[in-house]
Structure formats: structure tokens, C-alpha cells
Amino acid sequence: MDKNLSDPETDSANMDSEESAYYEEDNQELQQIINEMSEDELLRYETFRRSNFPKGVIKKFISSVIGQAVNPNLVIAVSGLAKVYVGEMVGLARIIQKERNEEGPLLPSHIHEAHRRMYRMVPNCQVFKKAPWND
């Protein structure tokens, strides 16, 4: 038997053990970060983990934009992207709140400024001088 050819079962077992070692290490790092969080940060993290965008709403939005049936996998992907975007925006809004030496819940001004800063990070993005719906 040729030594250069590998056994698919052995390769699969090696991949599984490497993958499980990777996930175990990743879980340990996450657990360490969670253990170091303050109660306020932990509450915010738990709320983020439980939050989601309703699949029906996302599906209706996508189908209105593209004008055709929507693949369920696309709905899941867009929901995930939306959740990450909102998480990034809230994180940036909290930084803005600290920059302004303000406390308490986020204000609309924090969210607006976070959106403005995130929008400026996107290259080749044009800002409308005039609202496109007003001719």
C-alpha cells in the first residue's frame, strides 16, 4: 500500500480531535473572559446572546428588496449580520458615552454618533446630500 495515501477514517479522526481541541481552547478563553466581566457587562452579554431578529420580519424585508423567494439560509445569515452590526453599534455608542463623560442608558445621540462613525469607516460610501425620496 502506498504510504502517501492517507486513510480517510484516520484523517477524519485527526480532524475531529484537532477541531475539538480548538473548540475546547476557544471555550476556555471565553469562560475566562466571562469570569472577568462585571455584573453590568455580564447582564449585557447575556442579553446580547439571547437577542435575535424575528426570522419572518427578516424574510419579508429581504424578499421586498430582491423581489423573489428567499432561501432560509440567507435569512439566518442576514439575521446574524444584523445582530453583529447592532452589537458593534452599541459597543461604539458606549465608547461615545464614556468620551462624553455621561452615565446611564444610551441616548439617541450616542446611537446616532455611533452610526455616523461606523458609516464613515466604510470606504467608497456616498452620503446623500438630499434625501433620495425627495426629488
Q: How far apart are CA 93 and CA 113, in angstroms?
A: 7
Q: How far apart are CA 73 and CA 58, in angstroms?
A: 12
Q: Tell me what pLDDT residue 109 has.
A: 94
Query: Is the residue at 86 inside a domain?
Result: yes
Query: Is the residue at 123 inside a domain?
Result: yes
Query: Is the residue at 62 inside a domain?
Result: no
Query: Is the residue at 2 inside a domain?
Result: no
Domain encompassing residue 89: 71-135
Residue 93, class by beta-carbon neighbours within 10 Å (0-12 exposed, 13-18 middle, 19+ buried)?
Answer: buried
3-state SS class at 5: coil
Q: Is the pTM for the entire model greater than 0.85? A: no
Q: How far apart are CA 95 and CA 101, in angstroms?
A: 10
Q: Tell me what pLDDT residue 83 has.
A: 92
Domain count within the chain:
1
Q: CB-side exposure of 84: number of CA atoms within 13 Å?
A: 6
Q: CB–CB of 113/91 below 8 Å?
A: no
Is the C-alpha dihedral spanning 80, 81, 83, 84 positive or negative?
positive
Query: Is the residue at 13 inside a domain?
Result: no
Walking along the chain (135 residues) 10 residues at a time, the average pLDDT comes out as 52 66 84 90 88 92 91 94 92 95 94 91 70 58
Query: Is the residue at 51 inside a domain?
Result: no
Query: Is the residue at 111 inside a domain?
Result: yes
End-to-end CA distance of the chain: 75
CATH of the domain at 104: 1.10.20.10
Query: Is the residue at 38 inside a domain?
Result: no
